[in-house]
Amino acid sequence: MLLRNSYLFIHMLTLIAQVHLLTRTRPKNILAMNIATRFQNTDSKYSGADNGNIMDFIVQYDLVSRDFQLSHHEKRQYVHNLFRREELRYYFAEVELLGSSYADAIAKMKSQFDSISK
């Protein structure tokens, strides 16, 4: 009887651990693919002042990152999906190399490309 109860207890703990892993972790490649898919259309990416205000695109990215429940690190990791052309080159050359926080990265991009503040 004790052996059977021990087996059931261990089996129950294993199932709980599996459910916990399924609900708490997300494969990074699927998450990255979801973000990239959401911003794959060129209209959803910021590409200069003629494309609108950069803050409109950042607000949209913040809403998407909230929907996907991204951490601050993940928001910083995937924010490059928001830019294209010159802005994307600037992001990789000037912002990504610094390894700063998400807020710092957005502030640097905003100071460089925000048409309202210029």
- Boundaries of every domain in the chain: 26-113
Q: Which residues of 88-100 are buried (b: 16+ CB within 10 A; e: fewer)?
A: bebbeeebbeeee
Write out the chain's pLDDT in tens, 118 residues: 444 566 666 766 676 766 555 555 555 667 777 888 888 877 888 887 676 788 888 999 998 888 888 888 888 888 888 888 888 899 888 888 877 789 999 999 888 887 665 5
At residue 21, what is the residue type?
A: L
Three-state DSSP class for residue 46: strand
Closest CA to 84 of 116, 36, 118: 36
- Assess contact for 105 and 76: CB atoms under 8 A: yes
Model-wide pTM > 0.75: no
